[in-house]
Amino acid sequence: MFLFLEVEQQFVVDEILDHRAFVGALSLILEPKDIVVFGTYGSRRDVNRFLWDHQIKPDEFISGARRTFKFWKREYPNGTAFGLKANPTVLARLVELLGPTSTPTDLCDHIVAYNSQFPILSFHDAFKSDPCHISSRVPVAKVEAFCAALGKPYALESVPEW
């Protein structure tokens, strides 16, 4: 699951490995009305239930993500995508549910976020190999606060042409 940010430049944050810190910091970069999508090939059963219980009605993006996961059903039979409002209370409860001994795959494999105006972030292969990409439409102060909470630097880079 990948989301093109539709900008000429993007903030890039490398080596984010702490899934609990990332979810906890999302409220620093997202507004409560924004949508955050967790794409998973098999999250922990209780986490999956939590995401299911808090998901919004699937929109075009979430439905498309689910079709993509369906394509991979043979290799990943539990693949799906859950879109939630970026409600700080719900995100904090998710961090609590994960607990200190959880692993990133207990949560998800991919994360994207967007609002009604533009894509906000894309984190393919989250907490593994790929960097998190954040739209340059997000104010720098929010990106700085987000990165400070993660203890990670960011870079502003030109988006490669595909």
100-155 pLDDT, tens digit each? 999 999 999 999 999 999 999 999 999 998 999 999 999 999 999 999 999 999 99
Q: What are phi and psi of 118, to 5 degrees?
A: -165, 160
Decide if 68 contacts 80 (C-beta within 8 A): no
Q: What is the mean pLDDT of residues 36-41?
A: 92
| CA 34/CA 142 separation, integer angstroms | 14
Query: Strand, coil or helix: what is 155?
Result: strand
Q: How confident is the model at residue 1 (pLDDT cuts 50, 70, 90)?
A: very low
Across the range 45-53, mean pLDDT stands at 95
Q: Which residue has the higher pLDDT, 2 or 108?
A: 108
Average pLDDT, the chain: 90
Q: Which residue has the tokens 């924004």?
A: 34
**Is the pTM here over 0.85, yes or no?**
yes
Contacts of 131 (CB under 8 A, 6+ apart): 12, 13, 14, 15, 16, 123
User: What is the C-alpha to C-alpha distance for residues 77 and 80, in angstroms, rounded to an integer?
Assistant: 9
- At 104, is the secondary structure helix, strand, or coil? helix
CA separation for the pair 55, 75 (Å, rounded): 24
